[in-house]
Copies of this chain bind each other. A is one copy, B any other.
Amino acid sequence: MEELLTDAYAGIFEPALIEEISAVANINDFEEGDRLIEIGQYIRQMPLLITGAIKILREDKVEGELLLYFLEKGDTCAMTLACCMGQTKSEIRAIAETQGTLAMIPIGKMEEWLGRYKSWRNFVFTSYNKRLSEMLSAIDNLAFMKMDERLLNFLKEKAKVNKSAVIVNTHQEIAYELNTSRVVVSRLLKALENEKLIKLNRNNIELLKQ
């Protein structure tokens, strides 16, 4: 387990801290599609992502969902951090995008390390900053871009976190994550295919590099 942590966090934490983490963390494997955090849930342990990818979603009161961003190796969710520190309910939902591994840290340790390890303090602030920055991207997408551009961005992001140019998703699934309708997605995907940016197959979409 120390190896796993070292692999994911070597450049980030000093060896002593990695050792402490391995001593107290619970390792937690997850499968694609696992619902890791629900909206309204209290968080009692802080997750560090070791391998795999997680998607973070926001939900409307009425209906509708929106993908905010992905977490990858070496990330933690600032939203969850916020919950831990502030003792509040989760405002987001986290679902495993791929299979992977989490290290769960007791909240008490988190606070303790803030005082003792500069690298931990840096990590926490960097996480917050990254998340704020991802939220800004999400806002840019929503405020300044049309659906076709958002869709193309989505496909590129998805390809990146899955490390594959083939996106295995139905149009309906994509529509959920962009908070639009299946028909709109099909229409715009067809247009992107006509522009030779993608190739459509059943249940998957190929991103064509140019």
Contact = CB atoms under 8 A, between A and B. Distances in A.
A85 B129 contact: yes
A12 interface: no
Interface of A: 58, 60-62, 64, 66, 68, 78-79, 82, 85-86, 88, 91-92, 114-115, 121, 125-126, 128-129, 131-133, 135-136, 138-140, 142-144, 179
A126 to B, nearest CB: 7
Contacts of A58: 136, 139-140, 143
A82 B138 contact: no
A117 to B, nearest CB: 12
A132 B85 CA distance: 13
Contacts of A91: 133, 136
Contact of A143 (B60, B82, B121, B132): B60
Given A64-B144, A139-B68, A139-B142, A132 B129 contact: no
A133 B139 CA distance: 13
A125 B86 contact: yes
A80 B114 CA distance: 21
Contact of A132 (B60, B115, B132, B144): B132
A144 B121 CA distance: 35
Q: Which 9 A-B pairs have the closest CB atoms?
A: A142-B142, A60-B144, A135-B135, A82-B129, A66-B143, A128-B128, A85-B125, A86-B129, A143-B179
A179 to B, nearest CB: 5
7 contacts: A58-B136, A82-B128, A85-B125, A86-B126, A114-B121, A128-B128, A139-B139
